[in-house]
Amino acid sequence: MGFGLVIVILLLKYKPTYMVTVSGEQVGYIEDVTEFEDRIQNEIIEMEGKNIDFVTIENMPSYEMKLVDRTQDTNEDEILVALQNNATIMYKYYAIILNDEVLSYVDNMDEAEAAVNQIEEEHKDDSIQLELQIATNYTENIEEIGIETVQVAQEQVEEKVEALIEEDEKTKMPVVNGVLLAVTPVSGRITSRFAEISNIRSGAHTGTDIACSIGTPIKAVADGTVTFAARNGSYGNLVKISHGNGVETWYAHCSKIYATVGQKIEAGDVIAAVGATGNVTGPHLHLEIRINGVAVNPQKYLYK
């Protein structure tokens, strides 16, 4: 009877509670171990969030039943927050790789795959080699990675692809004495070839004639400096450009001249317009390429 009375008094004054210890440090009290372990599993280990791959808790709590004063509060929520703050959260993200070069990082695999497939489809007929990959990476600090939207990443890849295409095209462009001929001056039909003899000339043809409409823009074939821009006898309106290494290009019979002597020219700049000035039978561009003053056949390099 006395023992039972003691038990009743104890239960009126105290309650059974579990003391929680993490890494040897007491962090609080909980009422039910099973329920608390379920919360750890659901709210931390199985935490849901963008790009969370998995969560680990290095030091799981231990529990010890205690009889504590009934006024002692439990603090499950605070303990959970402390555990979460010390948990390791591993995030998953994706690197978009072009020809072994990482171009950007994104956080959505499905969208990244769709973007890569689109790029590959658009460039499937190009001559350049494109090896596009998506690699899965992991980090504990996603904020340090520099994640881009898939749209931005796609634009970055497209810019790189275009640069590769441009570089590839340059390697296929003709080179005269170390000078890259990057642009064809006009599009048209060849009407007179280099070294042809004609009764309208006093000697062999020193260039290539390309027939096209009067006013057609004439583009410089390479970077250089304008050394002549005026009328010159049978050439009519003539533009000469020096490209260095003894290489010159001449553009004759122009209807208009836009370039000026001393002007720095880049390949593709419009320097004149097609015309029929000088000794001609119709509108065309007479193109010459000279190396150290000697005319060479332009069709060895252009209009093949």
In angstroms, what CA-CA distances link 104 with 147, 154, 203, 207?
8, 9, 61, 50
Mean pLDDT of 187-194: 93
Q: Which residues contact 7 (CB under 8 A, 6 or more apart)?
A: none
pLDDT, position 201: 65
Residue 210 scores a pLDDT above 90: yes
Rounded mean pLDDT of the chain? 90
CB 29 within 8 A of CB 72: yes
pLDDT band at 224 (very low <50, low <70, confident <90, very high): very high
| CA 262/CA 230 separation, integer angstroms | 13
Helices (H), 86-195: 109-122, 150-172
CB 204 within 8 A of CB 196: yes
pLDDT, position 200: 66
Mean pLDDT of 264-274: 97
Look at residues 138, 146, 152, 150 and name the one whose alpha carbon lies nearest to residue 114: 150
The segment with the largest mean pLDDT, out of 77-86, 168-177, 252-261, is: 252-261
Helices 33-40 + 76-85 axis angle, to 10: 40
Burial of 100 (0-12, 13-18, 19+ CB in 10 A): exposed
Amino acid at 209: D
Rg (CA), the chain: 40
pLDDT, position 219: 98
| CA 155/CA 178 separation, integer angstroms | 34
Percent of the chain with pLDDT over 70: 95
| CA 238/CA 229 separation, integer angstroms | 6
pLDDT band at 5 (very low <50, low <70, confident <90, very high): low
Flag the least confident range among 3-12, 113-122, 128-137, 240-249: 3-12
Element at 132 (helix H, strand E): strand 132-139
Tell me if residue 247 falls in helix, strand or coil. Answer: strand
